[in-house]
A and B are shown apart, each in its own frame.
Chain A
Amino acid sequence: MSANRIYVYKAFGRFWHWTQAILILFLALTGFEVHGSYQFLGYRQAVLYHSTAAVALLALIAFAIFWHFTTGEWRQYLPTRQMLRAQVDYYLIGIFHDAPHPTKKTPLSKLNPLQKLVYLALKIMAIPVMVLSGLFYMFFRYPQSNGIGTLNLGHLERIALVHTAGAFFLVSFVIAHVYLITTGRTPVSNLKAMITGYEDLEDEHEEVAVAAAIEEHA
């Protein structure tokens, strides 16, 4: 089996990914302290850090959106039903029998069908919900008779509950995500690729084998 080193993850993509990863973990750490789940940094520091990291994440998201559209990378997330079933079967069955990955990673298609679906949901559902509820949270003002003319929402409760539910979801996602990166060609190959940008992808012989396997499966 010969390996083929390919540049899959571009520089900005990696910068965006890792910064986002660290910010989200940091937001979770400070956020759950604000939520009262534990005491670690101190409540006041947790609030200040959480707000600052949130602003940083917003800035990062702005750049990422620009990047996705100007480079056309957004197409990576177009969902497809093709091979979706095969990908699910792979994680549920094939992986235990050392079956080959049903789809091939290329710079133009770096996500498998399941990833496309999940990441798209993350981008258009989870992140917007967190950003919006977070902004409401940040700019929430208590009702005042003649005070600051910002958002007189009356009660924080709904905002906070949506934000909390989203936080639980995101952390659950991160756990699953971190585990799934070990399902690459080797347990660390995906991690290495996301750090260096280069990945040893399967060569053409394997690709032929994959195609055969798919045919057989069908």
Chain B
Amino acid sequence: MSGFFQVPWSDYRPDLTAALGRTVSYTVVSFAGAVVLGLAVALLRLSRVWPARALAAVYTEVFKNVPLLAIIFLSYFGLASAGIRLDVFTAGCLSLVVFYAAYLSEIFRSAISGVHAGQTEAGEALGLGRAGIFGHVVLPQAVRLALAGTNTMLVDLLKSTSLLVTISAAELMSEGRLITSATFRALEVYLVISAVYFVLCYPLSQLLLLLERKVRAGVPLSPWRRRRIRAARALLAAEPAAGPGAGTDRKEAAV
């Protein structure tokens, strides 16, 4: 047993910690960018203007059908040879953003069009403007529908940051390669690196599943919704003012 672990791991701890931090940074920045771009592409895809729809469709199909590794090489080596020199972090994030935005836009598009047309109509009939309908009615329901697919993409993106080893992004995988070339203990090193990825991804996906379940159950997650529901509960607990319709009502029961 003791013979297996021969790499001096405690010496590498600071480097590994820094690499782990970089993996997390790549994931957070790229995912945020991919969500924003993906939503924009999804909205273009649902636009009434056909050139906008066509543009979005071309974007989605191109980046869905090109390997991520090719996109990484193009944005780091390819652009550099055309005079656009991006640093490793920018090139890495750019690649992940454009690649995952294509997938996310598909998820977002089907989620947005999956919200029942009657919902938009109810919003219109209540005098919510276009922005109000999108922000208060369509988007929150689309988020519910998109959550499962989006969460899968987040975990997938985290794992895909390992491809950035090819441009020496100094994230976990790159660090693993460095330790391997110093120690020649490939099996041990890559098992440990894999374990680190697992320890990152597994709790993350479990946490996201929990979030999905809460959202589906209608648990109010935002502070303003919680405040509103608390205030409503207080009002409901108060004696109703005597009125013509008050007689038919029972006392509020816990839901």
User: Does A pair with B?
Assistant: no
